[in-house]
Chains A and B, each alone.
Chain A
């Protein structure tokens, strides 16, 4: 459980980082919080030749809101999302309100244990792309945009294109993920997040996030999003179950029907922590509960 030999560099700036990534290409790995990469190196499942530690790079740990979008810097640690604050244009810091502001702490507390949450980063989780990772499910459900820099270029990658398969994303070896953009969800949204894990702090066996936008006049669902993790190589959306919700009024019967549809829509592969059939059962339970949680929060 000792890593294979590697070289180490810790640039101070984004430019320096991009430079190193450009130079070493496939041989390099970015080190952020180290909470996933270091265990993988110790198991020798990852054997990078060069580690590019971004812990000293400034400017990657901000959170701010503009035009209905929350931008989370790649180096924001999980624990900061337990009580998210954003910086205002005049340099003050205020707590993030609204539907997203109350959802993030709920989700953050599912991520590992406190010692992991104070080191592990939001961007690290997105770049690592574990199919059961809470932030990846959230990003996929809310159609987040990932902002990636490389020497001489920036691009934004929509969540639908970003997650490719287990631990694999659209990021190129030369690219650095610098931020993730999330919609803040207006007051007409209702969101919920539920997961089942074997022990406190474990990765979810199955986790579900739901978000519905209600027609202010009628209370009917105008738009619905259901994202599930733990059933495929990437977090998935469930369009058939989403479609069942649209036009209907939230309620226990509707939630149960959508949850049933969700369980039918996933096609999980079984492993040590749950057979395919069991994961389907969990999808049903988690989607139903997440919808109920959202409805409850509408108060």
Chain B
């Protein structure tokens, strides 16, 4: 039996579990950097007084501005300074920077810096920023706060809506979230006294890309900057874009000629790191009499904060919603307008799933509401609408490879035993008290996409490929150097399993080197559920090439035909015989007895390969069971079931870990976590007493079942699954909350479904009002 498909233990864990991890904050030996941040949402900087560096110092050194570019018409292009210049645009924006001997002294110094800022009116929430009279975030560059917009419609959309049997209209709101990595951001830079080369250790997801952009900004050759991501305590997208602070840290270390480190604290992270997913969707959907979704028209607005993120830009959320809203359904007629609106709030970056959790919430609420209106069971309406002919081409031209949308749902539904649940629910409704509810969510997860998909976005830089280098040393151990940058996902383990199978060794003899620009080939990093597919594919190809090299060498040594050589269990044997040689001995020969190599053979054992596929879709069905207390609005999770199809599983335990972590974040998004600003743009959620990640008590046991549809869209048959948990869970939970209170007439389409919102919906339903606040409600739709 091979190594792929086995739940071997993660090689990453002993270090981390024993507290021996090396994070940026563990490096030490550096002066402490602290940023002085804007206390107001919008204002003009009159003066900065005190012992600090400002944008004037960066300008004097010729440091450039960040330009996050999309080559498309409705996109406002900006030059973003590394520290605020003239204006501040959100609470927490870095205005100045101080350096102290210790973190406490740096904080003392920061307190001495006086920011003289004239406050100006601010546009804070999504609706406020959209208002035609809203204060503008970038008044010199744009005439409104709409920074990016996209629109499309299929030709027959209007007619299809006309012909619909039922029109369902629906508004979905998603509160602003923070990715909240356990380790906040941070960077540590040392510049060599002679030669002037700088080493940056930073808590990031894409070291090569960050090296490029920092060198562009500081005008230095990339060869003079080494970027290392040491252990990274969670990232979830928040550490993918360039942090302005990281570039400033490099600049400071070069300017001061001393080691400096910035270790972001939790308040800074909540206030001034990236946020995500403050969105509003208005849907108008036409179903035919057989409950088939014929046509969907959508208006999407995403609050994208005060600045774009590099290199993904602030198009990432609204444009993903535009492209992927049709989801896993066989919808034909589709039209959408999607806008990204700037506001005087913290900028946004991708967060695990990006827009997909909200897309999925919108579609899955739509399905449940339509099912109720049409008198069809929620399972049945999905059965009638899910894709089952592959490849399926979506109305926006996305190619869905083979998936198991229906099969996953049927398996999930039979696993939870709906009949028994409904009996329990009936009893609880009769008895009063906490009300059980169940919610289903089916979705697709677009994963493992390379250059073609990113090229379609027309970004200023086009991420995509992954390269690896693989070599066997004279002891027969294998070193794999990858451009991807795993940070806790278990990629090292999984890749070692792929290598082990191809070259006939044991994963324990494979070392993976990552996240260091000096020691790895250029690559893009770990994000967008891509590393297993891309780095895994490249590893597989390189390992096959290495196996071929070993095979030829063994053939030479054993005087057999190369085709007859089998590599397994550390030996190269002639098929069907016991004649063989240890792979370790071959490795010796390849390095130390090269006279035995066939003439013309390159000494040593090393290969490289790259992989750059178009992408693939994973799919899953989530089922959530909740208890809702109508008196308090409190929701408790009782059960959570996931049926996942991510193609071939390289290490099922690691896959399950990804799913569990993702579901926990999704439940948090559904019920707990929300970044809140007041009307003036002061952020109210700057500690973990106010921004509420779940504890273990809020997360139920998560039951996971797998289907394995080997994908022909990826070379290993594996699809990505890093984001799926977070994508599906919010919709499953919100559907369950609505199901629990359906008999009271409650409808709640906003996340997080905080106790206060749930309680307000219960009250509103009891008064016969439309649920929630009027501007949050589902609009009544006409039945034809």
> A82 to nearest B CB, angstroms?
17
Q: Are A278 and B104 in contact (CB under 8 A)?
A: no
Q: Which of A113, A199, A282 contacts B692 (CB 8 A)?
A: A199
Q: With A196-B634, A199-B697 in contact, is A5–B692 under 8 Å at CB?
A: no
Bound-state Cα–Cα, A199 to B759, Å: 17
> Which residues of A90-127 have CB atoms within 8 Å of chain B's CB atoms?
113
Please give, as numbers and ranges, the residues of chain B lying within 8 Å of A7 by CB-CB distance.
none
Q: Which of A3, A273, A281 contacts B631 (CB 8 A)?
A: A281
User: Which of B593-601, B682-690, B718-726 lies on the face that meets chain A?
Assistant: B682-690
Q: Are A196 and B632 in contact (CB under 8 A)?
A: yes
Q: With A5-B104, A272-B685, A275-B756 in contact, is A281–B692 under 8 Å at CB?
A: no
Q: Are A274 and B698 in contact (CB under 8 A)?
A: no
Q: Are A2 and B632 in contact (CB under 8 A)?
A: no
> Which residues of B683-708 have CB atoms within 8 Å of chain A's CB atoms?
684-685, 687, 689-690, 692, 694-695, 697-698
> Which residues of A158-173 have CB atoms within 8 Å of chain B's CB atoms?
none
Please give, as numbers and ranges, the residues of chain B lying within 8 Å of A5 by CB-CB distance.
104, 108
Q: Are B685 and A284 in contact (CB under 8 A)?
A: no
> B31 to nearest A CB, angstroms?
14
Please give, as numbers and ranges, the residues of chain A lying within 8 Å of B698 by CB-CB distance.
199-200
Nearest A residue to B694, CB-CB: A199
A1 interface hit (Cβ, 8 Å): yes
Bound-state Cα–Cα, A282 to B267, Å: 30
Q: Are B103 and A278 in contact (CB under 8 A)?
A: no
B107 interface hit (Cβ, 8 Å): yes
Nearest A residue to B690, CB-CB: A272
Q: With A2-B107, A272-B690, A278-B756 in contact, is A285–B631 under 8 Å at CB?
A: yes
Q: Are B695 and A284 in contact (CB under 8 A)?
A: no
Bound-state Cα–Cα, A273 to B633, Å: 13
A8 interface hit (Cβ, 8 Å): no
Bound-state Cα–Cα, A274 to B629, Å: 16
Contact digits for A274-295, partner B, Cβ 8 Å, 1 yes 0 no: 1100100110110000000000
Q: With A272-B676, A272-B684, A285-B631 in contact, is A199–B108 under 8 Å at CB?
A: no
Q: Are A285 and B632 in contact (CB under 8 A)?
A: yes
B61 interface hit (Cβ, 8 Å): no
Q: Are B756 and A274 in contact (CB under 8 A)?
A: yes
Please give, as numbers and ranges, the residues of chain A lying within 8 Å of B694 by CB-CB distance.
199
B672 interface hit (Cβ, 8 Å): yes
Please give, as numbers and ranges, the residues of chain B lying within 8 Å of A199 by CB-CB distance.
672, 692, 694-695, 697-698
Nearest A residue to B685, CB-CB: A272
Nearest A residue to B265, CB-CB: A1
Q: Are B760 and A43 in contact (CB under 8 A)?
A: no
Contact digits for A34-76, partner B, Cβ 8 Å, 1 yes 0 no: 0000000001100000000000000000000000000000000
> A111 to nearest B CB, angstroms?
15
Please give, as numbers and ranges, the residues of chain A lying within 8 Å of B684 by CB-CB distance.
272
Bound-state Cα–Cα, A99 to B633, Å: 31
Contact digits for A177-201, partner B, Cβ 8 Å, 1 yes 0 no: 0000000000000000000101111
A4 interface hit (Cβ, 8 Å): yes
Bound-state Cα–Cα, A272 to B683, Å: 11
Please give, as numbers and ranges, the residues of chain A lying within 8 Å of B392 by CB-CB distance.
none
> B759 to nearest A CB, angstroms?
6
- Interface magnitude class on chain B: 20 to 34
Contact digits for B666-692, partner A, Cβ 8 Å, 1 yes 0 no: 000000100010000000110101101
Please give, as numbers and ranges, the residues of chain B lying within 8 Å of A44 by CB-CB distance.
107
Bound-state Cα–Cα, A1 to B106, Å: 11
Q: Are B103 and A282 in contact (CB under 8 A)?
A: no
Please give, as numbers and ranges, the residues of chain A lying within 8 Å of B103 by CB-CB distance.
2
> Which residues of B206-253 have CB atoms within 8 Å of chain A's CB atoms?
none
Q: With A278-B759, A281-B759, A285-B631 in contact, is A198–B672 under 8 Å at CB?
A: yes
Q: Are A284 and B759 in contact (CB under 8 A)?
A: no
Nearest B residue to A197, CB-CB: B634
> B667 to nearest A CB, angstroms?
12
Bound-state Cα–Cα, A198 to B673, Å: 11
Q: Are A284 and B756 in contact (CB under 8 A)?
A: no
Nearest A residue to B676, CB-CB: A272
Q: Are B685 and A1 in contact (CB under 8 A)?
A: no
Bound-state Cα–Cα, A4 to B100, Å: 14
Bound-state Cα–Cα, A284 to B629, Å: 13
Please give, as numbers and ranges, the residues of chain A lying within 8 Å of B629 by CB-CB distance.
285
Bound-state Cα–Cα, A43 to B690, Å: 14
> B300 to nearest A CB, angstroms?
27
Nearest A residue to B668, CB-CB: A199
Nearest A residue to B760, CB-CB: A278
Contact digits for A4-34, partner B, Cβ 8 Å, 1 yes 0 no: 1100000000000000000000000000000
Q: Are A1 and B267 in contact (CB under 8 A)?
A: yes
> A284 to nearest B CB, angstroms?
7
Please give, as numbers and ranges, the residues of chain B lying within 8 Å of A275 by CB-CB distance.
756
Please give, as numbers and ranges, the residues of chain A lying within 8 Å of B104 by CB-CB distance.
2-5
Bound-state Cα–Cα, A278 to B108, Å: 40
Bound-state Cα–Cα, A284 to B102, Å: 50
B44 interface hit (Cβ, 8 Å): no
Please give, as numbers and ranges, the residues of chain A lying within 8 Å of B755 by CB-CB distance.
196, 198, 205, 278
B337 interface hit (Cβ, 8 Å): no
> Which residues of B248-286 have CB atoms within 8 Å of chain A's CB atoms?
265-267
> A253 to nearest B CB, angstroms?
15
Q: Are B695 and A200 in contact (CB under 8 A)?
A: yes
Bound-state Cα–Cα, A285 to B756, Å: 13
> B515 to nearest A CB, angstroms?
27
Bound-state Cα–Cα, A118 to B311, Å: 47
Count chain B CB atoms within 10 A of each CB in A196, A199, A273 and give the residue with the most: A199
Bound-state Cα–Cα, A284 to B104, Å: 46
> A71 to nearest B CB, angstroms?
32
Contact digits for B614-651, partner A, Cβ 8 Å, 1 yes 0 no: 00000000000000010111100000000000000000
Bound-state Cα–Cα, A2 to B107, Å: 7
Please give, as numbers and ranges, the residues of chain A lying within 8 Å of B695 by CB-CB distance.
113, 199-201
Nearest B residue to A278, CB-CB: B756
Nearest A residue to B686, CB-CB: A43
Nearest B residue to A201, CB-CB: B695
Q: With A5-B108, A43-B267, A285-B632 in contact, is A198–B687 under 8 Å at CB?
A: no
> A192 to nearest B CB, angstroms?
16
> Which residues of A76-92 have CB atoms within 8 Å of chain B's CB atoms?
none
Give residues in B with beta carbon < 8 Å to A: 102-104, 107-108, 265-267, 629, 631-634, 672, 676, 684-685, 687, 689-690, 692, 694-695, 697-698, 754-756, 759-760, 763
Given A1-B267, A5-B108, A278-B633, 12 more pairs with CB closer than 8 A: A1-B265, A2-B103, A2-B104, A4-B104, A43-B687, A196-B632, A198-B692, A198-B755, A203-B689, A272-B684, A281-B763, A285-B632
Can you report 5 residue pairs joining A to B where beta carbons are below 8 Å apart?
A: A199-B697, A275-B756, A281-B631, A281-B632, A285-B629
The 4 closest A-B pairs by CB, nearest first: A200-B697, A2-B104, A285-B631, A1-B265
